[in-house]
Structures are given as structure tokens and as C-alpha cells.
Amino acid sequence: MAMIDYGAIAWKNSRLISTDMFTPMKDMVGWDDSDLDIENPLIDNYFAYIGDKDFTLAFYKSTMRIYNPTFSYDNHTIFFGSERFEGWKKWWLWTTSNHKDIEIIVKPKRFHNYYVCHMKYNGDKYKVAFGYGVDLKCYKKWHIIDYYGTPWFRIMSEYREFKYWLRDLKWRWGR
């Protein structure tokens, strides 16, 4: 059985807005870019979206894409999993879109392999957890964002490694 190791969970004003692993863009931000003539469309390519038609952030794996139709120079993709961000503490951006102030802060989650994005925009506060181990089903069931970072997963992983090592040792000595 195949499993996706990455994901994204989005909240707006402390309310969960993600409904599935790939929540439709129209459901999350109220619009989609299917009728726009852009080189790399946002629709159906990302786990989660926040914002609105005037400013949208899209998240996939350890990547955040900014879409700002007001200022074309603000449209870029940031790869947080790259070597450039190794050892960093906080990424911060302040910009505007249609005379609305936007503040974006992304921090790595300590002792885990995912990132948390906080955005203040148009009177709303958004939060997105994205990256390795983020699982919406796990969050809905146990309110745990990163299953891979839990102590019981790490203990079970070490137990499995020990069990495999022991099995290999028995196989080698049994020859």
C-alpha cells in the first residue's frame, strides 16, 4: 500500500478549512485559476490554499507558492526543504495586495520535519502546517499534526529496526 509522506493542513481564524488531502482550491479560497492564462496554474497542483482572489498562498510538500496579481514581482515559489534554509529560524514577508497589508511568517517546527506558516490578511488569521509527516486524517482523529514525530512512532520504528537486525543475525548464524 502506497502512502503520501507529505501534506498540508490549513486553518482560518482557528477553524479547520482543509477537508481532504487535496482540498479543491475553490472551496478553500473562493476562486480558481482555471480560466486565467498563466504558465504554472495553482489549481489541482497543491495540498492547501489560503487567502482570496487578490492574494493566494499555495502549499505542496515543503513548498510555498505566492500568487499576487497586483504585483507580478511578488509571485514566486519558496522551497523550504532546500539547503538554503538549513539552520534558519524564521522566514518573514510583508507585502500588500489591493491596498491590503499582508504579513507572512514561516517557521520550522522544532524537532519535527514540517513547517508552520502564519499569515495575517484582510482581518483574518491563517495558519498552515505543511511538510513531511503532516496528515489530515491523523489530525482529525487524534489532533496530532505530525504522526512521524510522535514518541510512539519513533519507539516503534526503533523496535522494528531492532527486530529486523535480530532476524538478520539469526539468518546469518543459521547458515
pLDDT greater than 80 at residue 1? no
Domain regions of the chain by residue span:
6-148
Sequential DSSP letters for 56-101: EEEEETTEEEEE-SS-GGG--EEETTSGGGTT---EEEEEEETTEE
126 with 118: CB under 8 angstroms?
Answer: yes
| Run of H or E including 52 | strand 48-52
- Give the pLDDT score at 62: 93
pLDDT range class, residue 151, cuts 50, 70, 90: confident
Of all residues in the chain, the percent with pLDDT exceeding 90 is 62
Per residue in 56-79, pLDDT tens? 999 999 999 999 988 777 688 999
| Mean pLDDT within 22-36 | 92
CA distance 161 to 174: 20
pLDDT greater than 70 at residue 175? no
pLDDT greater than 60 at residue 5? yes
pTM for the whole structure: 0.86
- Give the pLDDT score at 174: 75
Average pLDDT value over all residues in the chain:
89
- Give the pLDDT score at 3: 56
Q: Which of 111, 113, 33 is nearest to 75 (CA)?
A: 33
Per residue in 74-108, pLDDT tens? 688 999 988 888 778 899 999 988 889 999 999 99
- Give the pLDDT score at 18: 96
